[in-house]
Amino acid sequence: MAIGNVHGFYKIKHKPPRLHLKRLKEIQKKVNIPLVLHGASKISGGQIKKAIDSGIRIINIDTEIRFAFRQSLIRSLRKKTEYDPRKILLPTISAVSQVVKDKILIFGSRNKV
């Protein structure tokens, strides 16, 4: 049963998806398993927090990580004087790390194992 999210940025044409939180709460009441949010791209932090409160326990963020990597790599490659892959890729590691850190805070997972 869908709750309003989509996989990947490419499917989001005009505005970010809005989750049907009432439907999510109904699903959560009927099942006794952790719920997964497949496709969390461009969903606001507030919506994510409400989804977690409504039973979501796993959230896919791969598209946002890949996008951060790609954008950072493009910026590095535009610096045509650099040819050392370690220096080219170093900013991408930072960009990906920042996305993950931001998501950890939104998910309320800081200092949790």
pTM of the entire predicted model: 0.82
Distance of alpha carbon 40 from alpha carbon 5, whole angstroms: 7
Region of poorest pLDDT, from 40-44, 75-79, 89-93, 94-98: 40-44
Residue 54: per-residue pLDDT = 92
**Sequence-distant (≥ 6) Cβ neighbours of residue 32 within 8 angstroms:** none
For residue range 46-79, list pLDDT tens digits in order: 999 999 999 999 999 998 999 999 999 999 999 8
Question: DSSP characters for the chain?
Answer: ---S--SSGGG--SS-----HHHHHHHHHH--S-EEES--TT--HHHHHHHHHTTEEEE--HHHHHHHHHHHHHHHHH-TT---HHHHHHHHHHHHHHHHHHHHHHHT-TT--
Pair of tokens at residue 47:
């919506």
* pLDDT one-digit tens code per residue, 1-44: 578 776 666 555 667 778 999 999 999 999 988 899 988 888 89
Higher pLDDT, 2 or 109: 109
pLDDT in tens, 71-84: 999 999 998 888 89
